[in-house]
Structure 1
């Protein structure tokens, strides 16, 4: 087993969470060690953290100790890279903001470069301190040795990378902050592929609605009356990851109806509880089978195959809905949907 530097600097609460994780049943492990740059510091009790540009000035910080770096232990660098990729996916599952997600340097063996080298400004720039690394490691613990989970996480990351917005941008207090239409065909293309990747997450988890011409999804498509056998099938698969019939998912609609929204068939949901707060907010509360149907409709008729005339009307909110549903289902499949970010006991 070899040790590899992740170049990820941990906040104290992430260090504590990582130390609480047990990887004894796996061929991998994680540890935390004092970071070598002399740039990141924390108080001895972990209640405060600081950063300095010049490591030579570190003597000014009394009663402090170096912050921790995440170290990955694995048989080889390829496995370590795979582990780090899953951890990064877990960080984005905690808060999906790819645009501000720092790309740290590639892994290297702990023995490869002497710690003193990192005191040099060029090398200490390899290091970044970001939040939710502990949660990312928790995701790794649950996803490791499950290829379907790991592929679902990679597809989620790819969807965010292609085109995404932050959850805060979708908060009802903001109303509609993005225009629905962008004339740029590159935007239409990236939006369509982001939706397609998000739907592929659902397929990877085995949670797509399974219907066919011989087994139609709806008895009445206009009214949205489900075929009982199709509905029972998806409800049973959702039940296995803890989704009950009373669990709901809020689908974001903002401003005027788009051409995409007008085309959704059937048109599911009732007004979400916060819609009265802002006239631009028309969000709908759906059951999970309804939400998965909406996503499959976007993928099948608007986002994939040969683009239709509706593809140009994909909005940031369509993309966000697709990715939010994918994120929700990944975390539920991992058993982490109701787990607090820094709960050490569950």
Structure 2
């Protein structure tokens, strides 16, 4: 076996020109075997490395003459000193990126779009057949098994059926979890209702060894506990697009997570807000913990608005109302509308603020007489708000109902549902 530590770079370079390896900013033609050996040598010396290696373009030398660690010398030789100005640690990280199971399942026809979205923001992802075998896709939709014990009855794929595809994220653990959890949070925001099956949303690191991976797929992923974490949502590509667009802006990332956690803390099912059902959800609770939970949900929702810098900006010197009839101060209103317009939100759109059942002791400001077109004025008393009015109503609830010590009024709301739907 050739000792690559003593072979000049030009000889290694010429032994296998048809192997192409993606390395940082450029493509380098490398010998696959030699690269693996170099990385192994490098990792063997990893614990002895100085805090920072300022590589000095040292040419390749025999072991006895080299003043640098073997792994570093070989790697520099293999790379033809192209990356001699980078730390070896950075190069090793590029070569040894772990893979994480996201538990996010996609329909096979969605994978090309999702791959394109992820690559546009620099995420390294790939798809593999769903190891849980929880979903089957066919022309008329998909089938799902709810528990691993039913997989045998679920059977193998029939004619025209395909397995789902699992999204695998290739990144360091923290970044992989940030990507996976952001997509899951965007899922909740898109649906407007939490998925209680999610539980732990962290990724699961996959081993490189094929036999170990196959064992995990069968003995762990297809057993109670992790099996339930595999999920499919038809609108998930939209959630991926939302996550991708938010990724460069930390404040938007936080806004998505806050609104998602708001729904997870307290929410009504979207279909229960349909006018034909009237009031089918509870409005009040005598339990103190419910009062606190409602408060947390409202605070999180409004904090998401603040993360996007879309709150009403007013002060004692520049009040938002000109009178007690809630006439907007033109200066304050124009400032809010301009910020909405700047981020691509139409400031003239309207929202239906859901108000159901008997009147309560909690007023909603601003007071408007414009009911939604479907309101009956009795049980269904939904109000049509302009977008600035709706944002003010959110800030009113936060400022006067939840942000400070609770008063007597809080005993009557507990399960207050502050739900808006766009029109």
TM-score interval w.r.t. the shorter chain?
0.7 to 0.9
Question: Which residue of 2 is the match for residue 260 of structure 1?
Answer: 362
Q: What are the residue-to-residue correspondences of 1:109-128 with 2, within 5 Å?
A: 109-111=205-207, 113-120=212-219, 123-125=222-224, 126-127=226-227, 128=230
Aligned-pair CA distance for 1:242: 3.0
Q: Does 1:167 align with 2:266?
A: no
User: Could you tell me how far apart the structure 2 residues matched to 1:28 and 1:122 are?
Assistant: 24
The structure, 1 or 2, with the larger RCO (C-alpha pairs under 8 Å, 6+ apart) is: 1
User: Could you tell me how far apart the structure 1 residues matched to 2:118 and 2:317 are?
Assistant: 47
Question: Which residue of 2 is the match for residue 209 of structure 1?
Answer: 312
Aligned-pair CA distance for 1:60: 6.4
Aligned-pair CA distance for 1:308: 2.3
TM norm structure 1: 0.82
Contact 1:153-1:201 at 8 Å conserved across structures: yes
Aligned-pair CA distance for 1:147: 0.2
Q: What are the residue-to-residue correspondences of 1:111-150 with 2, within 5 Å?
A: 111=207, 113-120=212-219, 123-125=222-224, 126-127=226-227, 128-131=230-233, 132-150=235-253
Unmatched tracts of structure 2, length 5 or more: 1-96
Unmatched tracts of structure 1, length 5 or more: 329-337, 339-346
Matched residue of 1:267: which SS?
Answer: coil
Matched residue of 1:85: which SS?
Answer: helix
Question: Which residue of 1 is the match for residue 80 of structure 2?
Answer: none
Q: Does 1:270 align with 2:365?
A: no
Deviations along 1:193-228, whole A, 9 cap, x unmatched?
A: 1101101011000001011111111110x2111111
TM norm structure 2: 0.68
User: Could you tell me how far apart the structure 2 residues matched to 1:148 and 1:161 are?
Assistant: 20
Matched residue of 2:305: which SS?
Answer: helix
Figure out how many residues of one structure are paired with residues of the other and give that number: 316
Q: Does 1:84 align with 2:184?
A: no
Matched residue of 2:128: which SS?
Answer: strand
User: Could you tell me how far apart the structure 1 residues matched to 2:220 and 2:187 are?
Assistant: 27
Alpha carbons of structure 1 residues 216 and 107: separation in structure 2 relative to 1, 3 Å: same
Alpha carbons of structure 1 residues 124 and 134: separation in structure 2 relative to 1, 3 Å: farther
Q: Does 1:309 align with 2:408?
A: yes
Matched residue of 1:226: which SS?
Answer: coil
Matched residue of 2:352: which SS?
Answer: strand
Alpha carbons of structure 1 residues 63 and 245: separation in structure 2 relative to 1, 3 Å: closer
User: Could you tell me how far apart the structure 1 residues matched to 2:237 and 2:383 are?
Assistant: 33
Alpha carbons of structure 1 residues 60 and 96: separation in structure 2 relative to 1, 3 Å: closer
Q: Does 1:18 align with 2:128?
A: no
Q: 2:199 aligns with which of 99, 103, 120?
A: 103
User: Could you tell me how far apart the structure 1 residues matched to 2:362 and 2:179 are?
Assistant: 38
Q: 2:393 aligns with which of 288, 294, 298?
A: 294
Alpha carbons of structure 1 residues 13 and 306: separation in structure 2 relative to 1, 3 Å: farther
Q: 1:236 aligns with which of 338, 346, 349?
A: 338
Q: Report the RMSD for the aligned CA atoms in angstroms.
A: 2.6
Larger Rg: 2
Aligned-pair CA distance for 1:154: 1.0
Contact 2:121-2:244 at 8 Å conserved across structures: no
Contact 1:268-1:290 at 8 Å conserved across structures: no
Aligned-pair CA distance for 1:283: 0.6
Moved beyond 6 Å, runs of 4+: none
